[in-house]
Amino acid sequence: MSEVFHLVFPSAWQASPHEPYRAASLETEGFIHCSYAEQVAASANRFYAAADELLVLCIDPEKLGSPLKAEPAGSGELFPHVYGPINRDAVTSVRALARDAAGKWAFRA
């Protein structure tokens, strides 16, 4: 399975560096929202358009200690969801997301 990606504010990623990462949605919805490469920019622009900084966690599904499921969103499009915390050794890289010339978040896998 190819990498999946999670959008996160730098402060949230850096909050507990020696513990598995737990997004707020894990408590409120029961899973951590992720995206496939082709969904990252659209998700960032939909949910984080006004953010000053944003990171992308690149996650190797084979190394995840929590279950990963592809599930439909309200649009019917499938998105990956992690049902538990993300162990940090499953994160292959952490990249700052950049904006394009028009000011929109852009992403290249």
pLDDT tens-digit readout, 1-56: 689 999 999 999 999 999 999 999 999 999 999 999 999 999 999 999 999 999 99
CA 34/CA 29 separation, integer angstroms: 13
| Nearest Cα residue to 31 out of 2, 60, 73 | 73
pTM of the full structure? 0.94
Question: Which of the listed CATH numbers 3.30.70.990, 3.40.50.300, 3.20.170.20, 3.60.15.10 matches domain 4-101?
Answer: 3.20.170.20
Domain boundaries, the chain: 4-101
CA 62/CA 98 separation, integer angstroms: 27
| Nearest Cα residue to 58 out of 82, 90, 80, 83 | 90
